[in-house]
Amino acid sequence: MYDLIVRSSAWDVAVADGVIAAVGSELEGSAREEVDARELVVLPGAVDAHVHLNDPGRADWEGFATGTTALAAGGTTTAIDMPLNAIPPTLDAASFAAKAEAARGVARVDVALWGGLTPGPLDRLDELAACGVVGFKAFMSASGVEEFEAADDVTLLEGMARAAALGLPVAVHAESDAITSTLAARAVAEGRTAMADYLASRPVVAELEAIARAILFAEETGCALHVVHVSTGRGVALVAAARARGVNVSCETCPHYLVFDADDAVAIGTAAKCAPPLRPRGVVEELWARVLAGDVDLIATDHSPSPAALKETGGDAFAAWGGIPGAQTLLSSMYSEGVVARGLSLERLALLTAAWPAARFGLTPSKGTLTIGADADIVLLDPRADWTVTVDDLLDRHKLSPFADRTFHGRVVRTILRGQTVFVDGALVGEPIGRVIRP
């Protein structure tokens, strides 16, 4: 007898002891629980490779308890937490242990950890690798928090060489600090601090220059490179061209770059501030073209909330925190804007949100697929449900999201983690069972 069978119109998934035991059409046998998903979309639980959960030290921004609650409600079963917003940031073995302890007993999804690459002793990377990070995150421009310094060129080059020796990737926030800091300082000095001025201070060329430089360093060192939150089709094109000539490089984009545009940023205000910034509609459609062409490796949320006070700066866009919460809207937004609006296949949706991020960061075969032996991480989405996001729907700490009032076609109705339902029909189920996992 199985513990669970999920029956869909095409094939069934049977679960035993938390893993997928059988997949097939009209599976025989009984189970302690059967879920009728014949009118639903069945997907592997999302693997969100870019979230900021901020425990310990900044739980008032977002913590494992609230952040993973929102992730579970949105169909994510594995999240990879970024190293910078905790106090201390995840830069060595001690801070890794503090981060892991903060997640224990409160996380509602499984969590893996990024380590940080900042100026300082390179042997910290060895410590982090031994602890079990998926890779190392570096900022090529200011991170926004004092505790996590940007990586100068020497730090990045030498860090990539050490990461290559350790067999782990380096992820970069790719924007030219020379361009963005100079343009920002000029605008502020001249009293130009509206959202449109902020957008102009982080032009596309700043992203392109940094991506090209990071690719050059990766090619020189043999490091596996991952470029986070690429906001332009031209940026993706640089990655695709490098990959075609043999560089080990991947990239992600985020739902907010595929849903919103620069006009939305001006209309919404600082709640829509992020870095890189939202782009003009033509750039958004160029980015979608790259997604549909298969040049984007994965879609991640860059869920990065903050207290409302850090967003409410009297119209000064430069002074506001630059981050957009998106933990709960990943699958709904991409099903709506990708599958329904642009013909993205369900297979490609599953690859972008689950299989490819799991594979890139060493979490397969346990995560990212609905195959025998994998963890039974399953999400059910109702394709008939039109969902207008309300503040009351949102389960992250501050509920301050530009996605509020947006209508999507398709809504997650059940999330299953290792065979156990953790969210169903708008409600959490059971106690937190999330684990800290390692590659």
Q: Which of 83, 86, 78, 97 is nearest to 62 (CA)?
A: 86
pLDDT for 191 equals: 97
Q: Where do runs of H (alpha helix) occur along 136-261?
A: 153-166, 177-189, 195-201, 204-221, 233-244, 255-259
Contact between 114 and 420 under an 8 Å Cβ cutoff? The reply is no
Tokens of 1: 């007898």
Structural domain boundaries, residue 299? 42-365+387-410
147, part of any domain:
yes
Contact between 106 and 64 under an 8 Å Cβ cutoff? The reply is yes
Report the DSSP beta bridge partners of residue 51: 81, 303
197, part of any domain:
yes
Tokens of 13: 């998934």
Q: Which positions of the chain have pLDDT values less than 50?
A: none
Tokens of 334: 């991409």
Question: What is the biggest distance separating any 2 CA atoms in the chain, rounded to whole angstroms?
Answer: 72
Contact between 317 and 194 under an 8 Å Cβ cutoff? The reply is yes
pLDDT for 413 equals: 98
pLDDT for 438 equals: 97
183, part of any domain:
yes
Which residue is listed with tokens 């299989």? Answer: 355
For 410, the 3-state DSSP assignment is: strand
- pLDDT tens track for 122-152: 999 999 999 999 999 999 999 999 999 999 9
How many domains are there within the chain? 1
How many angstroms separate the CA atoms of 378 and 414, rounded? 8
Phi, psi for residue 57 in degrees, rounded to 5: 105, -35
225, part of any domain:
yes
Distances (CA, A) of 129 to 79, 133, 377: 18, 6, 26
Stated pTM of the model: 0.97
How many angstroms separate the CA atoms of 38 and 12, rounded? 9
Q: Which of 1, 6, 44, 45 is nearest to 24 (CA)?
A: 6
How many angstroms separate the CA atoms of 156 and 251, rounded? 17
Residues 6+ away with beta carbon under 8 Å from 285: none
249, part of any domain:
yes
- pLDDT tens track for 402-420: 999 999 999 999 999 999 9
Question: From the centroid of its chain, how far is CA 159?
Answer: 23
6, part of any domain:
no
- Taking the CA atoms of residue 244, residue 296, residue 350 and residue 256 in that order, the dihedral angle to the nearest 10 degrees is 170
How many angstroms separate the CA atoms of 301 and 309, rounded? 22
* Mutual angle of helices 153-166 and 204-221, in 10-degree steps: 50
DSSP annotation of 12 reads E
For 263, the 3-state DSSP assignment is: helix
Q: Which of 403, 438, 400 is nearest to 256 (CA)?
A: 403
How many angstroms separate the CA atoms of 358 and 113, rounded? 13
For residue 48, give the amino acid letter: D
439, part of any domain:
no
79-97 as b/e: b if 16+ CB within 10 A: bbbbbbbbebbbbbeebbe
Distances (CA, A) of 147 to 7, 251, 408: 49, 26, 37
How many CB atoms lie under 10 A from the CB of residue 10?
8
pLDDT for 91 equals: 98
For residue 147, give the amino acid letter: E
434, part of any domain:
no
Q: What is the CATH number of the domain that holds 115?
A: 3.20.20.140
pLDDT for 323 equals: 95
